[in-house]
Structure formats: C-alpha cells, structure tokens
Structure 1
C-alpha cells in the first residue's frame, strides 16, 4: 500500500498526473480545432465583406471611367484610407506583387471595419450602404455587427482558448452579417465548414445554466418570456437561464430559444420588428414594449426563453431558498454558472456552492 501512493512513475499519483496532462492536451487540441474551423467561416465572411465594399467604392468613384483605383483618391473622412493603403503597397512593392487585387486583399479586417465608423457617415450615405441591401440601412447597426465579428476574429487569430466562448452564438452573428450582404452567400456559409461538428466534440462538461439576479427580470420573464440585460455583456455558452429573486432561485429554468445583442429600445425599432416575417423579430418587439418602463431608450441584449409547457422547459420541484444574510450575502450579483442537474438535486443555494 505504501508503494501505491508514492509519487513515482507508475504510482497512483503519477498516473493521475498523466491523466490530467492528457485531459489538458485534449482540451487544447479541441480548442485549436474549433478555432481553426471557426476562423475558416470568418475568412469567408471577410472576403464577402471586402468584395461588397470594394464593389460599391469602385462604382461610386467611377473607377472604370477614370482608371484610378478608389483607394488612391481622397476619401471623405480622414487619412485612414491613405495610410493603410500606403502600408500595404510598401509591403507588396518589396515582394514585387503590387497590383490592385493584391492591395485590396492585403487590407485588414480592421480597415474595412473602420470604413463603417462614424467619421465615414458621408461615404456611407453616398455608397457604402449599398453593400448591405438586406440590413436596416443604418450605418451603426452594420458597424456594430462588423465590429463584433472583428473582435471574435482577433480572439481566434491570437489563439485564445474557446472553452468559454459561445461559438454557436458567434457563428450566428457571422451568418446574420453575411445575410445583410447576400442571402444566398449566407445560406452557403451556413452549409460550408464543420465548425459545429467540431464544437459538438467538446471534451469538458461545463455548467449549462446561468443564474442571474432578477429583481425586475423575473417579472419580465413572467410577462414576456425573456431576459434583458446590457448590450455587449459577455456570457459563457449556456442552454438555460435561472432567476434569483426574493432570496431564492425561482423554480422555472427556461431554455434559451434565441439571443440577440445590441437591440435598439425605440418605438421605431418596435414598428420595424413588428412588420418582419421573422417570428423572433416579432417576439423581440413584444419584449421591448413589455419592458419600456424598466429599460429606458438605449441598446440592450435580449434572450428569448421557453415558457412552462414547452418540451425544452424545466421546472424544479421547488424554489431554492438562499439562507445567507447581511450585506454582500446575495447568492449572485451579476451572474453565476451551474449545471441543471445540480439545480435539480439541490434543496437550498448552499448545495450549489463550489459546484
């Protein structure tokens, strides 16, 4: 027995360490494969985006008639274009590869994202809006969508771990942006690649439910079957939301049906969404109307959730009381992650601590 517990090669401790190393390597390999698969989708989107913007700029500056590429002409909005183009041309000139096609291809995702910024409002009105015929036509909506993809792209490019990234949500954001440009291209993008197949092989079981503080959120869920929070707020990949209010976790644990970020909380947006053929658009419109007294005009993130009776909906046997007391003793202040299984077997929030 004494030899069995010694930290030697072949010992119990040694075998445990090797299992941990294999487990860590498995997670790393999965993350790398997922990043590579997702990066391919982002790459397709980047080509689609730059081609659409390049086409609009070519037409606007009458390039075929003048023979001068648009990126060599003064561009309303500042020196961003000239500086970026000069850097690309210098690099290509050293490689003896300087051509119009190579210059456009060499401009970064950040360059194209920058063209949609507020200082290029005039350029947006003159021509860039035509690159996104299926969007609302508002520059800010498109700029926010492109910026989100840019941030995701950079995370993948810098080899950040994807273990806590909601890959399905990020891919949906990419497809939505592609749909602004070309519906057929978006459909193709949905079918190509294997990012979701790779993601499904996730080797680590993680908490699938986020518990949120719900002083007002619980009332909104009961009336509109949704959760609303600040735009841009980050969440791990989750399947469900649980609500903590009145010093207890409520028994209903709805599944997430749809998630949408940066939604404008305005009467105009309600009217636009109400007229949409998309059922989620119409549901988001209902959420805005139901929550206007709590959430003032601005931009927010919306989770559409299941209602009791839905096959995906779960309900605990009883609410889980929180027995802590005093200042700072709340079970959750911003968000907390747990598994549905633990929620189902717990009797109080104390059973969730450390799990």
Structure 2
C-alpha cells in the first residue's frame, strides 16, 4: 500500500478541541504527537476489545454448559433459559428481547439466542440474587477459583466495566491497560488454565500497548535496601532533606538486584520534617491526615534514622485506585562493583516499566 501525504492540520480541525484536549496535554502541546496518541488510543481500544471478546465467549459458554447440565436440558428437551430460573424474571425478560430480535431475522436458534445475550446478562447471573443458582450450579463453571461467588463476581464486574469503557470509545491514555488485561486473564484462569494461557498468547493488547507514541518519565527509581522494608511497613519513602527530584507521579524501588513489583503513586511529599519523638507526638495530634501519617512513619523508623530533618513521600498501597503493580519484578543482570541499576535515583516512565522484562529493556 503506497503512502499518501496527509494534511494533518485538516484532520486536526475536523476533531473537536474538547476531544483532543487530553491528548494535546499528554503530548506537551505538540499537535502531531497528540494526533499520533489519539490514533494509538483507538488501536489500543480495538486490541483490548478483541481480547475481551474472546473472554466473553469463554465465560458465556462455561455458564451455559453448567446451566444446560443443571436443568437436564438434554433429557427434557427444553433449553434452560425457557424454564423457571431461580432469581426472578431477569432471565425471561432478557431472553424474550433476544428472541424477538432474532425472530424477525429468522435466526431464532438456541445457539443464536445464547450468543445474543449480552455480557452484562452473563455477569448479572453472578450477582447476589442468584446465590442459590451459584451454590447449585454456577460455581462449577469456575473450578479454579476459590469457590466463592464474591471472588468471581468482583473479577467479572471489573471486566464488564472495562468492556463498556472500550465499547464507548473512551480514551485509553489514562487506563492501566496491563492491569486490566491481567484481571481479564485472571477471570479466564478461574474457568480454565489452558484457555487463559491461549488468550494471553493470542491477545494483541500488550504489543499495541508497547507502541504508545508518548510516554513521560513519570517515575523515579530509588535504591531501596532500607527503603523497601520501610515502604512495606508504612507505605512511605524517606530520604535526606533538600534532595532534588524532578516532578514525578510514582516511586519504584530497586533492591535485591531487581525493581520491585509495586510502583506506588505519590500521595503527598514534604521536606524538612523534624525526625524526633517530640515531632512525631505533635504531628500525631494534628487534624491533618498527612501529619498523622508522617508521625507513624517517624515512629516506625525511629531506630534506623538519626535525629535531624528528612524528606518524606507518602505513597499508595496495593489495592488503591492509583497504585500500579508490574506483572513481575524486573531483574537486573549487571554484576560487579558499581553495576547496580541505580546509585542515587533514575527516571523512567511507568509505561517502560510495564513493558520491560528486565532492567536491560530500560
């Protein structure tokens, strides 16, 4: 296919300013880069939606199979969705709407009816009103889960929200794609491990994610022999007062010849904090939640830090909405004196961390 010159200014003018504003901000005001980012976001949505589509087929077939067996469909000759299903008229209403649509197309077969029921329908069957059905039947569709409806419904609801965001063509520039794909594969693994591995292998999502045209160095990597245990205890990073940092959104920890899996967001940063029991006591009594948190950090590190003044970063913990986790720690292969990945601090993008397999990729 031959390349054709395109007047990108004309294209830009055909797109609304409000729609392009987030992309322009992310691209530092560069319209060409913003347009590239806009196109990437659409490709990202398409690639992720393809993966969600495979998961949707896997989920509905697993549930349909269990329901077919539970209601002894082969013996009675009546599809389960035409029988009285515990939990109200939700199933009847959804099936009736699909049958009405298919009847007009002369496609009203069992297979087409099952395929025509929405992703929301199938995840709805995992809700609390179907607890009886879960206990009697639906739990068998997820033999590799912990057996609780809550675990499965939380995972399914996460995927449903992600699917809806993609379907509505929302921007993906601020979506944690690696996290969403991992959660999707987690739900697939509850159904079947081989199916989940196949889904991961055929999914184009992470390959497209790696092609993002604009990535900001939004993360500082710090040496963390002592900092990592402190973070695990109190979710904070402490360093000398006055130490300069570029504006960053996250902190990553390098310890034990690897960058740790957790990449917390910076919640609050304060310099010149007095590191004494008296300071901790005063901050503990404050009405400010950051003061009280810093007091807890001082008290937790009292034995390891001398009295003086320090700089404190309060950070997120796993489970917080802004928190990010890599799929695995990033190993460092260098060896010998002075070969550590970071000596003082080093700046990278979260995107680079999420797409790397080792520090060599950074």
- Which bracket does the TM-score occupy, shorter chain normalised? 0.5 to 0.7
Distance 1:82 1:174 in 2: 28
The residue number in structure 2 matching 1:54 is 64
Distance 1:201 1:22 in 2: 16
Residue-pair matches, total: 246
Q: Does 1:45 align with 2:66?
A: no
Q: CA RMSD in A?
A: 3.7
1:146-295 equivalent positions in 2, closer than 5 A: 146-209=156-219, 222=229, 225=232, 243=237, 253-254=252-253, 255-257=259-261
The residue number in structure 1 matching 2:12 is none
What is the CA deviation profile of residues 262-285 of structure 1, one whole-angstrom value per residue up to 9, with x for unaligned ones?
xxxxxxxxxxxxxxxxxxxxxxxx
1:203 offset after TM fit, Å?
Answer: 0.6
The residue number in structure 1 matching 2:359 is none
Q: Does 1:69 align with 2:73?
A: no
The residue number in structure 2 matching 1:97 is 107
The residue number in structure 2 matching 1:111 is 121
The verdict on how the C-alpha distance between 1:247 and 1:124 changes in structure 2, with shifts beyond 3 A counting, is farther
The residue number in structure 2 matching 1:130 is 140
1:109 offset after TM fit, Å?
Answer: 0.5
1:47 offset after TM fit, Å?
Answer: 0.2
The residue number in structure 1 matching 2:332 is 311
Q: Which runs of 5+ in 2 are unaligned?
A: 1-8, 10-28, 246-250, 254-258, 264-317, 334-339, 350-362
What is the CA deviation profile of residues 238-264 of structure 1, one whole-angstrom value per residue up to 9, with x for unaligned ones?
xxxx747999999974145169xxxxx
Distance 1:85 1:227 in 2: 51
Q: Could you tell me the TM-score, scaled by structure 1's length?
A: 0.60
1:208 offset after TM fit, Å?
Answer: 3.6
The residue number in structure 2 matching 1:340 is 347
Distance 1:51 1:108 in 2: 13
Q: Could you tell me the TM-score, scaled by structure 2's length?
A: 0.59
Distance 2:344 2:220 in 1: 18
Cα contact 1:134–1:180 (8 A) shared by 2:
yes
Q: Secondary structure of 2:108's partner?
A: coil
Q: Which runs of 5+ in 1 are unaligned?
A: 1-8, 10-18, 212-218, 229-241, 260-298, 319-338, 343-355
